[in-house]
Structure 1
Amino acid sequence: MDQPGPTEWQSRSGPEVGVGPWVDERGTSPPADPRYDPELLADGDTRNVVDAYRYWTRDAIVADIDSRRHPFHVAIENFAHDANIGTVVRTANAFAAAAVHIVGKRRWNRRGAMVTDRYQHLMHHDSVADLIGWARAEGLAVVAVDNTPGSRRLETAELPRDCVLLFGQEGPGVSEDAHNHADLTVSIAQFGSTRSINAGVAAGIAMHAWVRQHADLGTAW
């Protein structure tokens, strides 16, 4: 990014979360760059964003992430109002996923997303068949993540670069329809007594596996 680093000019004496109004000890005016929000410069920025995005408008942040998003998508089945979707969205934002796809019920509890849904592209599909059809049209492989017989170890599997990582609901896991249409099913190695890992946690593990295999770590914060 070509703007000055926030620590060169921002005040650290503002609220405990975020930063206060823009202050420059050199007495110069606030930056005129259109990426900056005049209200945030005047009042402070308490949003949950990295320092490089302090005082930026929401549209400017989304545009910058769009310029370097990864070519993997995340989908989660939501036929019974899964409470993990917010966590999945928040993690997908952290890893700059292309989009998060909600399959089934359109409504979901956004509290767990911690407002990151404002910066993450979201799509809805009424059914697994709709998601699969969309993925095929986009040339994306569908990778189901579930600890079912016949699945490959995520730890040793080669994930497709252009793909949809598909997760089931907490409890039942990936639906039979999704399993039948997936190009690959992977499972996360477990060593304890529980039958399954929380869906939100599993999504984070799988996304990070993709990052380890395909991401350019030089672009990370």
Structure 2
Amino acid sequence: MRDPNPITRAAMASDEPVFRQVGVGPWQEEHPEQPLPTDPRYDPELLEQGDRRNVLDRYRYWKVDAIRDDLDRRGRHDFEVAVENWTHDFNIGSMVRTANAFAARRVHIVGPHKWNRKGSLMTELYQHVVHDPDIATMTATLREEAAGQGESTPRMIAIDNVPGAVPMETYRFPRRCLLMFGAEGPGLSEKALELADDVVYISQFGSVRSINAGAAAAVAMHSWICQHAEVAGP
């Protein structure tokens, strides 16, 4: 057997890593002098076993429905996200997780109903996720919804590095919009690019043609946040 690399050997001999513990333990261990809460938002099983989920501290021990309802009450942002699912891309889960982190109004999964949830880490439970069979149907539905609610149709923005696209760094995102993302490799479909009102690309300075699709989605959503969200102080 080959000897391990010196760096690996030194790493294994170190006292690292020491990770912080995420979440909280059972309620009675965390709050030994307090009775169990009776608020209906709390999940009895989580109170008993602890809550190690990837949620904000204010949602510790809360039921999934209670968290989703509270996000709605606080107000989600005015952008939506559409992800084409023609290749069962592993990045879709990451995009849904990012959409939840930035409080997108909705996420549209376009194409086959089954999608790769691995990277979402269950965040789809707190997010409004809808399914559309294709881009044309999604677009028609958005127009009908907007007309029925007396709103303008969200501007459809394709994120892809194709000829004619404009740089994201100088683009002004509309407050009400739909960000469209394609699959790793081929990018967005021709129909998505055809129906888009604007096509935006992320400027890059290395040798690769494109960055990871999940990373591109995070950059685009955060660009919207930088322009429109009210950010609290530290």
Which TM bucket (shorter chain)?
0.7 to 0.9
Match of 1:125 in 2: 132
Q: Secondary structure at the match of 2:84?
A: strand
Q: Secondary structure at the match of 2:45?
A: helix
Q: Secondary structure at the match of 2:108?
A: strand
Matched, 1:109 2:116: yes
Normalising by structure 1, report the TM-score. 0.88
Match of 1:80 in 2: 87
Match of 2:15 in 1: none
Q: Secondary structure at the match of 2:220?
A: helix
Match of 1:51 among 54, 57, 66: 57
Match of 1:36 among 39, 42, 61: 42
The one-letter amino acid of 1:21's match is: P
Match of 1:194 in 2: 208
Q: Secondary structure at the match of 1:144?
A: strand
Q: Deviations over 1:43-101 (max 9, x none)?
A: 21121111110011111100111122111111111112111101101111111111111
The one-letter amino acid of 1:162's match is: R
- Asked whether the 8 Å contact 2:94–2:120 carries over to 1, the reply is yes
CA distance in 2, matches of 1:71, 1:25: 39
- Asked whether the 8 Å contact 1:70–1:97 carries over to 2, the reply is yes
- Asked whether the 8 Å contact 2:90–2:118 carries over to 1, the reply is no
- Asked whether the 8 Å contact 2:157–2:196 carries over to 1, the reply is yes
Displacement of 1:199: 0.9
Displacement of 1:25: 5.4
Match of 1:209 in 2: 223
Matched, 1:27 2:27: no
The one-letter amino acid of 1:129's match is: A
Structure 1 gaps, min length 5: 1-14
Q: Deviations over 1:2-49 (max 9, x none)?
A: xxxxxxxxxxxxx94421111365723122222112221122112111
Q: Secondary structure at the match of 1:30?
A: coil
Match of 1:134 in 2: 141
Q: Count how many residue pairs are aligned between Structure 1 and Structure 2.
A: 206
Q: Secondary structure at the match of 2:100?
A: helix
Displacement of 1:135: 2.5
* Cα RMSD (Å): 1.8
Q: Which has the higher helix share?
A: 2
Structure 2 gaps, min length 5: 1-19, 147-152
Match of 1:146 in 2: 160
CA distance in 2, matches of 1:16, 1:187: 38
